[in-house]
Structure formats: structure tokens, C-alpha cells
Amino acid sequence: MGKKLFHASHFLKSLSRRSPKRYSKLKPVIKSDTYRVKPGKPLEDQRLKKYWKNRKHLFSKIDGNQIYMTPELWFSVTPEDIARFLSQFIKACLPQARCIMDVFCGGGGNSIQFAKVFPRVIGIDNNLEHLYCTAMNSHAYNVDDHLWLRYGSWSRTFAKRNKSWLSKETIDCIFASPPWGGPQYLKSGLYDLETMLIPMGITSLLETFKQLSSNIIIFLPRNSNLSQLSQATSRVFGPDVKCKVLYVKQNGFMKGILCMWGDSLMYYQTEDEETRSIQENSNVINIDTDLSDSSEPNSKQPQSSISNIDLYDING
Ligand SMILES: C[S@@+](CC[C@H](N)C(=O)[O-])C[C@H]1O[C@@H](n2cnc3c(N)ncnc32)[C@H](O)[C@@H]1O
């Protein structure tokens, strides 16, 4: 087991032993139980009101007094339905997979659903308070046994700096839900994937992931510039590689797009009932019609040069 990984089931204990300085920074938050979501006690911050109203979509167990959220997590956790769908989708595509890496794991929305299905999940985040929330939330879902956490900043050199433990891992799939820059991401018509994504543009991000796994999934804004996605795909993987894009809706609202690379994710065969039904309900979007609907923020997509992208519509 890599020394830099903390097992979620004894995250605080290990942190206090191995990183006392970091633990002492977290101590006030632990002591005052600041981030515990208390049922029947709505958030005071007006900007978070709508997230509070929809809290059960984030974590179905949120009213059980065991879920932890920082203010940032209220608008960045992946809704549970979407996270569960993705986890089952990966399982169907990669039935033998053992280890999923969740880069930018936040409050554990995705990690928890991965840990329900896969024996080993590695969550990485550069915010210690978020890792703490992930550890607590995975305990609430009783999956902390399958989850290991790494505190650190994902960068162009992350793999190089972490070579010692990463070289021992076989990562079957990398999932990433990078920060989109806050709720204002929709304000700018087309979302620029090279300049607005944090901590680096889509091309660089894919280059870092390619070193570690041949199966990659990134959750991106619904108004992402598909031409940039197409160009990044060609630059990083070559002209013959395709990117699969699933438009993810929840209760009729487009939540974002799941972008995938890797043969097993692109072309999969299954006997499994559930996945067959996912497949059958995934309609290829006719980009000339569906995306030209002005009610969708993706309507202003340039339609040229995205031939290496397959678009699907998932109704959740
Ligand atoms: C959109 S949230 C992820 C939400 C997560 N999928 C969930 O369901 O809870 C993005 C996360 O990326 C983390 N982050 C931002 N920059 C980072 C970096 N350079 N390295 C690692 N994590 C980073 C933030 O702390 C935040 O928790």
C-alpha cells in the first residue's frame, strides 16, 4: 500500500499520525463539526438555498445526520443518480476492473458509487476539508473499506512526483470531475475547455491521464466547446481515436457531459440486462437538430471538425 494513501476508514487517525501539521489545520473543523449537514437546519447562505432544496439529489442519505459538505461542495458534488449510473456503466464496460481513480474527488459523490461496485477506489483532492468530507460520507454509505485517499494537487508533474506508489497501481479507469470555475460557468456561451477548466486545459489534462490508464472519463460542462474536445482528442491520442460524449440529464435538466476515451468504453458488448437497457436508451443525437434547439446552451456549437466525437443522449 502506498504510504501517501490514507485508507478512508481511518483517515483522521492516519492523518494525525503521519501528517500532524495537516491534522492540526483540520482540527477546528473536526471539533466544531462545522460541515455536518444537520437535518431540519437549512443553510443560512442565500446562494446555497436552491442546493439545499435539492439536497436529496446529491446524497440520498443527506438527512441522516451523517453527511458532510463544505460550502463549495454544495454546488460541485455529482448528483447521486448520475454517479450511480456512471459507476454501473463502467462496470458494464470493464467487468474485470478492480481499481478506479477519482481525480478531484470532492465530497465523494462519485467515489462512493465507485466504491459500491469496485474493490479499490483512489480519490485525490487538493483540499483537505474535502477529503475529510469524502471519508465521512463514504463511512455513511458503508463503503469506506474500499476507498483510499490521497491529498495532493493534480498537475502536469503529478505522475512523475508520485511515481513510487503510482507504478504499483493498475488503474483500470480514471474518472475526473475537475472544477468548472463555479456556477457562473454557463454565462460564457461556449465553455472554453483550454482556458476555463481548472487546474489545466483539456489537452494537458488528457496528457496526464494517458500516462496512467487507457480508459478515461471526464465530466465537463454541457456548453463545452466540442471542437476543442475533438482537437484535444486528436492531439493526445492520434487522428483515429474517437471520444464518446454522453449528454446527461436529470429531471429534464442537462447536468453536463460525460466524455470518454478508451476502446472498452467506446465499443462494448454486454449480456447484462441493465446495461443493455442503458445502451438502448442512449440515442445518438442528431447534432443538426437536437443541439440547434435554442433552449440548450450547446446550440452555438461549431458543427465542423467534430467527426471524431460520438454524441449520445442519456435521460436520467
Ligand atoms: C467538481 S469538484 C468534484 C466533485 C466530486 N466529483 C464529487 O462528486 O464530490 C472538484 C474538486 O477538485 C478539487 N481540486 C481543484 N483543483 C485541484 C487540483 N489541482 N488537484 C486536485 N484537486 C483539485 C477541489 O478541491 C474540488 O473538491
- Residues with Cβ within 8 Å of residue 183, at least 6 apart in sequence: 75
Any ligand 1 atom below 6 A from CB of 177 = yes
Q: What is the distance in A from the centroid of ligand 1 to the CA of 108? A: 10
CA of 253 to the centre of ligand 1 (A): 23
Query: Average of pLDDT values for 150-173?
Result: 93
Residue closest to 116 by CA, chosen among 140, 150, 152, 151:
140
Tell which atom from ligand 1 comes closest to the C-alpha of 104: 12
Amino acid at 151: Y
Distance 258 CA to ligand 1 centre (A): 16
Residue 280: the pLDDT is 47
- pLDDT, one tens digit per residue, over 274-294 is 555 544 444 433 222 233 233
104 lines ligand 1 (CB under 6 A): yes
Q: What is the ipTM of this complex?
A: 0.99
Place of cell 460524449: 245
Instruction: Find the 267 Cα to ligand 1 centroid distance in Å.
Output: 29
C-alpha cell of residue 186: 454557463
Give the model's pLDDT for residue 304: 54
The residue contributing the CA closest to ligand 1 atom 14 is 104
Q: Please tell me the predicted confidence (pLDDT) of residue 287.
A: 27
Q: How far apart are CA 95 and CA 88, in angstroms?
A: 10
| Residue bearing the bigger pLDDT, 290 or 89 | 89
127 within 8 A of 101, measured Cβ to Cβ: no
Chain-wide mean pLDDT for the chain?
Answer: 88
Find the 129 Cα to ligand 1 centroid distance in Å: 11
Backbone φ and ψ for 24, nearest 5 degrees, come out as -70, -30
For residue 208 and ligand 1, the question of a CB distance below 6 A is answered with no
Q: Which residues pair with 260 in a beta bridge?
A: 217, 244
Atom 5 of ligand 1: nearest residue by CA position = 106
- For atom 13 of ligand 1, which residue has the closest CA? 104
pLDDT at 309: 81
12-21, 25-34, 121-130, 274-283: segment of lowest average pLDDT = 274-283
Ligand 1 in reach of 110 Cβ (< 6 A) = yes
What's the alpha-carbon Rg for the chain, to the nearest Å? 19
Distance (Å, rounded) from C-alpha 79 to C-alpha 87?
Answer: 12
List, in order, residues 6 or more apart from 76 with CB less than 8 Å away.
Answer: 106, 107, 177, 179
* Main-chain phi, psi angles of 252, to 5 degrees: 85, -10
